[in-house]
Every structure is written in structure tokens, then in C-alpha cells.
Amino acid sequence: MLINNDTIIKDNDPLIRRKSADVVLPLSKEDRTLLMEMLKYVDDSTIPEIAEENNLRPAVGISAIQVGVPKKMTAIIIKDEEGNKECEYALVNPKIISNSVEKACLSSGEGCLSVTEEHEGYVYRSARVKVKAYDALKNEDIIIKAEGYLAIVLQHELDHFKGILFYDHINAKDPFHQDPGSIVIE
């Protein structure tokens, strides 16, 4: 499957709001191939020459529903400023098993491959989460203890499984409302 900016489902398509189904393990060849293609998209999207040549928008994550497959699979890669991978996951059936009461948001707001229009405002999420999933890179069940940026990315991608987009969380009356006691991540 070709994954690029033209083939990613946008928020004007009702499919993006569809709930995703659990994935049968062990992974089928088809599911594994799709998940690895999603991971490649995320990796390649942050390399300017490759991104431009292949019509890729920069991303740290992508979920299967964004390519028209309503299954609980997501690929995440977070790189440092030099382009080195800080973390890399190809997750199947991830779910949050615990989360903090304390909230956090990104100072710059959030973006999404499926959202072409800008939606300014704070997206408050749990500052820390614990996620249980099958990681197709390690071929085993894992638990991710995440805080800060990674916690936000995980929650953003898992929202896709429920048909929720980041701007659904923005306060419509006061998009930059300061939530007392929350962490603003630069």
C-alpha cells in the first residue's frame, strides 16, 4: 500500500471517525506489512529529501485508520534534534492501563496527518500514561511508561481508535484556556 499525503484519510472523510477493531494475534502477513509500511512513513517523513520526493508530511505517529484500515495498530517514532531515534514502536492493540490526574499540553498545540486546516488551542491530556500493547518490532507484549511528549503522542494515536481527533479536545469558547496545575510542554 502506498502511503503518502494523497492516500492518508482526511478529517472530511467519515471513515476517520470510525471505531477501530482489535487485531488478531499473531499478526497476519498483511497486518504486519501494513504496520511496517506505516512505520516507514513516519521514519521517512522527517527526512526532508525523502519527504519532498514522496509527498510525505512530517509525523511522529500514524494509526491504521488514517490509511483506511479500522484496526488498532499505530506506528510511532520520536527523534531528537539530530534525527536520532529516541523511541520507536509498532504497536498492536495498545491500551492505556493507567494515567495521571495531572494534565499536560503542548505549547504549540497538536497537528495530525488527517487534519489539513489549522486548529489552534491547547489539547489537555494526561501528563503520564502506562500503555500495554504488543510491539511488532520486539514481537512481544510490552508496557510503556510514558510522560510528557511521548504520553501526549500515545494518547493522540490511541484517540484515533475511538474516532476522536485532537481538535475535539480544544475548548471551543476559550482555545488557550490555562488549566490550573497542568504542565505546558515547550
One-letter amino acid at 11 equals: D
CA-wise closest residue to 21 among 63, 79, 75, 77: 63
- Residue 173 CB: number of other CB atoms within 10 A? 6
Query: What does the longest C-alpha to C-alpha distance in the chain come to?
Result: 47
What stretch of H or E contains 45?
Answer: helix 29-45
Examine the residue annotation and report whether 157 is marked as an active-site residue of this protein.
yes
**Grid coordinates belonging to 186:** 515547550
Identify the active-site residue in 37, 118, 157, 186: 157
Question: What DSSP line would sit under 129-164, residue for residue?
Answer: EEEEEEETTTTEEEEEEEEHHHHHHHHHHHHHTTT-
CA-wise closest residue to 84 among 55, 50, 46, 112: 46
Q: Which residues contact 25 (CB under 8 A, 6 or more apart)?
A: 92, 93, 134
CB distance 66 to 30 below 8 Å: no
Query: Looking at the annotation, which residues are catalytic?
Result: 157
